[in-house]
């Protein structure tokens, strides 16, 4: 008599808010947390086994059998597996999509975890016998060919890209001509191996030692430490000393940084300090590199895991500490799909693992400060810069009385000239890339709009294009006004390109480096620019917020803030907080060594409280003012928000959906503690050809809000009207756009 199949619940990567039941043969072993290939409609998907159940609510004849079990053991440690289920519940996002977001792309595709493989290319017999004269006009190909001849075991992508940035194009050409062949090989190399010997630890100052001792005493148990240290106070050295102790205990360390731009210098500092394998995670990795790092972390081979937001889902064999650098940064919040906060999930992970977490920042988030006042976090402070360096002096340049030239006032230009004479470096910060934000007709005032967004196109002079910074659309520069047909179109306003050009005109002998998303698109470009800055091969740096945090430039003694008022009166209730954090962070690049620093802020509102606090380096004073405003207006951290977003290519459809969704909400919400606002169009209603709207839900208490959201999402998931617009729920939204 045949033994009946068992029933398993499986999380499938679909936007449906439920798991699915499948039949598993009695003789097949399915570890909970393993991947299973399952039929889903006409497709086959990779799901995650959640649990075995006694029987399904569906008749057995309607259940489909699984296709294949892909893993012999769970992919995630038990703590992480349960944390992902918690995250799905907290952010009200489908569990299958949450679990897939936690996996490298190769594992989402069903690739094996047993072998760490990569593609190797080798010369074929035909390739070994070609005439080198073929390459007489192609020196790069000739060099690559000669290296291939000496590499009996072939070359992989990591070696090829060190030889030439054009390696991929060359390989494709040679492959099509039959000169090379490819094969998959097990890659036993470590993700990142540090040097032969670790560098010695520098002497800590008294404040650093107190902080390190406090954290070390808490190893082995959960505690959330908020490390508030001014810029240049040595927070990274504190992290390194704590990690030393964790590694000495045979444990691993997880370190999160907010942006890919910070990882190269952090990696270098960690690699110099530790004789350990470092697994690195950021968006610049290819799929194989990400899988290699994931496997090394999971097996315990990597003692340190360092990465951006998604690294929080890395399975660690024995984690001893979690560190979140620049914990205030909005980059830790995922803005589409599964909209999680890596910082908040990190705190929950530390609590479940019973290990300490260190949240470091010179400008902590107001939510973190409230957690200090509520007793949930412990405050550790580094009030002074290391090495006897003082805080830079901050001066306000009143632009109501100054006439700028291409965005640069005379006092700022004079200050730059003084630094050039002293062979010191200057930073000019402008959080706007491109040449000019507006291309306008001077005769009638018409500006070139984006055809897909409610936005203006930005002039990029070097590309000779008009670009939309919201949807990425680009077009040739318009030479005739679309309203009055005049040819009198001109650039209005300044971006980093224009400031760079102005500096070249004012200081023709200065070496200028522009650091923004446009100038660092090519792989390795950012690292090369930073190398030139550190080597003293650059006099003036112009850049966006990529320059604002983490970088240590000892010879920078001047920071100029252009268009400081940008965001001062934004529609988001966090605008002033983010402006203060951004300016204070970039100001912290000045005077970090023995040379005194100066910060010049160009503003049309010199009497604003934000600038007064910046002049005094008074973060606590600003925070007290901001927290009082938040308390009076009942905004976070004194309440909890959820934002239902909707979009549609049809005008009005998103807003109509939200009105119907609100009607459903009003029937569900009987608790006075949950406030449901009226739907409204997004601040930028049309973006990338889609019309957007949003509905805000607010509650002073977290628990009633989530009870309501759980019911609401379940109703919307089944509602017919919900299929007429694309919608998503953002819990604890970071941006109110």
- 383 phi and psi, to 5 degrees? -80, -15
pLDDT in tens, 485-508: 999 899 999 999 999 999 999 999
Q: Per-residue pLDDT for 188 more than 50?
A: no
Instruction: Identify the CA nearest to 321 among candidates 250, 219, 235, 248.
Output: 219
Residue 581's Cβ-side half-sphere holds a number of Cα atoms within 13 Å equal to 21
Nearest alpha-carbon partner for 324 in 341, 336, 339: 341
Query: At 424, is the secondary structure helix, strand, or coil?
Result: coil
- Please provide the average confidence, as pLDDT, over all residues in the chain: 89
The string of pLDDT tens digits covering residues 408-445 is: 999 999 999 999 999 999 999 998 999 999 999 999 99
> What's the pLDDT tens digit per position in 360-402?
999 999 999 999 999 999 999 999 888 777 889 999 999 999 9
Closest CA to 446 of 472, 474, 485, 411: 485
640-731: CATH number: 3.30.70.600
Question: How far is the C-alpha of 384 from the C-alpha of 525, rounded, in Å?
Answer: 33
Could you tell me if 109 and 68 are in contact, meaning their C-beta atoms sit under 8 angstroms apart?
no
Question: What is the CATH number assigned to the segment(s) 389-436+493-627?
Answer: 3.40.50.300
Domain ranges of the chain: 6-108, 117-186, 206-386, 389-436+493-627, 640-731
Helices (H) and strands (E) in the chain, counts: 21, 32
Q: Of the candidates 438, 587, 449, which has an alpha carbon nearest to the alpha carbon of residue 498?
A: 438
Q: Which of 686, 698, 688, 687 is nearest to 733 (CA)?
A: 698
Runs of H (alpha helix) within 574-673: 575-587, 609-616, 619-633, 653-668
Q: Alpha helices of 383-523 — where are they, by DSSP H?
A: 410-421, 496-506
* Token representation of residue 4: 């009946």
- Which residues, including other chains, have CB under 8 Å from residue 158's CB and lie 6 or more apart? 118, 289
Give the single-character DSSP code of 23.
E
Q: Dihedrals φ, ψ of 589, to 5°?
A: -75, -15
Task: Over range 346-370, report the average pLDDT.
Answer: 97
**CA-CA distances (angstroms) from residue 30 to 6, 64, 110, 407, 426?**
10, 16, 16, 64, 60
Count of other CB atoms within 10 angstroms of residue 42: 5
Residue 62: strand, helix, or coil: helix
Q: What is the DSSP letter of 679?
A: P
The architecture CATH gives domain 6-108: 3-Layer(aba) Sandwich (3.40)
CB-side neighbour CA atoms (13 Å) of 21:
15
Residue 189's pLDDT is 42
pLDDT of residue 264: 64
Q: What is the Cα–Cα distance from 570 to 355, expressed in whole angstroms? A: 39
- CA distance readout (Å), 675 to 507, 604, 642, 695, 702: 57, 38, 11, 11, 12
Distance from C-alpha of 128 to C-alpha of 728, rounded to nearest angstrom: 56
- Asked whether this chain's domains 6-108 and 389-436+493-627 adopt the same fold, the reply is no
The sheet that has 598-603: what strands, in order across it? 393-398, 598-603, 556-561, 425-429, 540-543, 512-515
Task: State pLDDT tens for residues 53-109.
Answer: 988 888 888 899 998 999 989 999 999 999 999 999 999 999 999 999 999 999 999
Yes or no: say if 514 and 528 are a contact pair by the CB < 8 Å rule: no
Residue 186 pLDDT grade (very low, low, confident, very high; cuts 50, 70, 90)? low
* pLDDT of amino acid 80: 96
Portion of the chain with pLDDT greater than 90, in percent: 64
pLDDT in tens, 30-65: 999 999 999 998 889 999 999 999 888 888 888 999
* 653-699 pLDDT tens trace: 999 999 999 999 998 866 568 999 999 999 999 999 999 999 999 99
Q: For residue 180, how many C-alpha atoms fall within 13 Å in the half-sphere facing its CB?
A: 23
Q: Answer whether CATH 3.40.109.10 is correct for domain 206-386.
A: no
Closest listed residue to residue 415, CA positions, set 426, 402, 406, 423: 426
Better-scored residue on pLDDT, 326 or 570: 326
Assess whether the previous peptide bond of 304 is cis (omega < 30° from 0). no
Tokens representing 118? 């990569």
Q: What's the DSSP call for residue 5?
A: P
């Amino acid at each position: 008599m045949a033994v009946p199949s068992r029933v398993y619940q499986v999380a499938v990567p679909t936007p449906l808010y439920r798991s699915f039941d499948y039949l598993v043969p009695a003789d097949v072993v399915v570890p909970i947390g393993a991947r299973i290939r399952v039929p889903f409609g006409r497709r086959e998907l990779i799901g995650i086994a959640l649990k075995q159940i006694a029987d399904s609510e569906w008749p057995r004849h309607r259940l489909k059998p699984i296709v294949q079990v892909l893993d012999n053991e769970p992919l995630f440690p038990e703590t992480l597996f349960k944390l992902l289920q918690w995250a799905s519940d907290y952010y009200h996002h489908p569990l299958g999509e949450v679990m897939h977001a936690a996996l490298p792309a190769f594992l989402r595709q069903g690739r094996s975890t047993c072998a760490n493989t990569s593609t190797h290319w080798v010369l074929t017999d035909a390739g070994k016998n070609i005439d080198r004269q073929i390459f007489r006009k192609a020196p790069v190909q000739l060099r690559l060919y000669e290296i291939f001849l000496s590499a009996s075991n072939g070359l992989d992508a990591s070696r090829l890209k060190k030889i030439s940035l054009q390696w991929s194009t060359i390989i494709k050409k040679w492959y099509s001509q039959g000169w090379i062949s490819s094969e998959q090989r097990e890659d036993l190399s470590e993700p990142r191996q540090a040097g032969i010997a670790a560098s010695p630890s520098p002497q800590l100052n008294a404040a650093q030692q107190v902080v390190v001792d406090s954290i070390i005493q808490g190893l082995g148990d959960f505690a959330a430490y908020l490390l508030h240290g001014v810029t240049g106070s040595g927070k990274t050295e504190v992290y390194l000393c704590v990690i030393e102790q964790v590694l000495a205990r045979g444990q691993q360390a997880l370190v999160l940084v907010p942006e890919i731009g910070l990882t190269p210098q952090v990696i270098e500092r960690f690699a110099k300090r530790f004789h350990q394998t470092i697994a690195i995670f950021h968006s610049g990795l290819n799929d194989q590199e990400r899988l290699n790092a994931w496997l090394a972390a999971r097996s315990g081979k990597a003692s340190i895991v360092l990465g951006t937001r998604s690294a929080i889902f890395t399975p660690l064999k024995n984690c001893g500490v979690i560190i979140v650098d620049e914990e205030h940064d909005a980059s830790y919040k995922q803005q589409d799909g599964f909209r999680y906060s890596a910082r908040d999930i990190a705190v929950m992970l530390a609590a479940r693992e019973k290990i300490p977490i260190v949240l470091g920042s010179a400008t902590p988030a107001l939510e973190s400060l409230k957690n200090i006042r509520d007793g949930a976090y412990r405050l550790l402070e580094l009030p002074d810069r290391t090495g006897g360096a003082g805080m830079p002096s901050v001066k306000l340049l009143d632009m109501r009385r100054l006439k700028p030239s291409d965005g640069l006032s005379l006092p700022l230009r004079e200050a730059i000239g003084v630094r050039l004479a002293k062979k010191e470096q200057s930073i000019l910060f402008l959080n706007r890339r491109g040449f000019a934000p507006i291309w306008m007709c001077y005769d009638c005032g018409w500006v070139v709009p984006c055809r897909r967004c409610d936005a203006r196109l930005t002039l990029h002079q070097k590309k000779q294009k008009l670009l939309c910074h919201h949807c990425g659309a680009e077009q040739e520069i318009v030479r005739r006004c679309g309203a009055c047909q005049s040819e009198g179109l001109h650039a209005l306003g300044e971006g980093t390109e224009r400031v760079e050009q102005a500096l070249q005109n004012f200081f023709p002998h200065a070496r200028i480096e522009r650091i923004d998303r446009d100038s660092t698109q090519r792989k390795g470009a950012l690292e090369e620019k930073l190398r030139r800055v550190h080597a003293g091969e650059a006099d003036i740096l112009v850049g966006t917020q990529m320059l604002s945090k983490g970088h240590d430039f000892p010879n920078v003694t001047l920071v100029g803030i252009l268009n400081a008022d940008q965001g001062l009166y934004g529609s988001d209730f966090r605008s002033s907080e983010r402006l203060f954090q951004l300016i204070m962070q970039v100001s912290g690049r000045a005077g970090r060594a023995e040379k005194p620093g100066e910060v010049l802020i160009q503003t049309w509102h010199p009497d604003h409280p934000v600038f007064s606090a910046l002049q005094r380096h008074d973060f606590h004073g600003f925070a007290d003012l901001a927290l009082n405003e938040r308390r009076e207006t009942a905004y976070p951290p004194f309440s909890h928000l959820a934002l239902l977003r909707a979009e549609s290519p049809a005008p009005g459809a998103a807003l109509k959906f939200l009105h119907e969704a609100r009607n459903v909400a009003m029937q569900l919400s009987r608790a006075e503690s949950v406030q449901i606002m009226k739907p409204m169009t997004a601040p930028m209603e049309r973006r990338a050809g889609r019309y957007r709207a949003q509905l805000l839900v607010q509650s002073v208490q977290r628990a009633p809000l989530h009870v309501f959201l759980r019911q609401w999402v379940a109703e919307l998931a089944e509602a017919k009207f919900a299929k007429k617009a694309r919608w998503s729920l953002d819990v604890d939204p970071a941006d109110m756009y």
